[in-house]
Amino acid sequence: MRVRFSPGLEIQGFIFMVKFLKESREELRKVVWPSKEEVVNSTLVVLSAVILISLFLFGIDRLFSVLFDTLVRLGSR
């Protein structure tokens, strides 16, 4: 089933899209983009945090795994 719009609505939609794209482009020109050095430093901070948190969670997981295995072995005697 095809929905038909009046030609006026199609033109209004097209005009709205063009206006939206122009305004978006103007806003993007106002953005203060970070320097390459800032991007690299931020990336290193994020990667370091991810690695540290991953190692911490791995350690906690291993600890609970060992404790659980020990409790299961003690309970099966």
Question: Which residues are CB-neighbours of 34 under 8 A, at least 6 positions away?
Answer: 42
Q: Could you give the angle at the alpha carbon of 6 between the alpha carbons of 5 and 7, nearest 5°? A: 115
Q: Domain segments of the chain: what residues?
A: 7-75
Q: How high is the pLDDT of residue 13?
A: 78
Q: pLDDT for 28-63, tens place per residue?
A: 999 999 999 999 999 999 999 999 999 999 999 999
pLDDT at 11 over 90: no
The rounded distance, in Å, linking the Cα atoms of 54 and 56 is 5
- Percentage of the chain modeled with pLDDT above 90: 73
* Of 66 and 12, the one with more pLDDT: 66
The structure tokens 């791995």 sit at 58
The structure tokens 């209004």 sit at 12
Question: Which residues are CB-neighbours of 42 under 8 A, at least 6 positions away?
Answer: 34
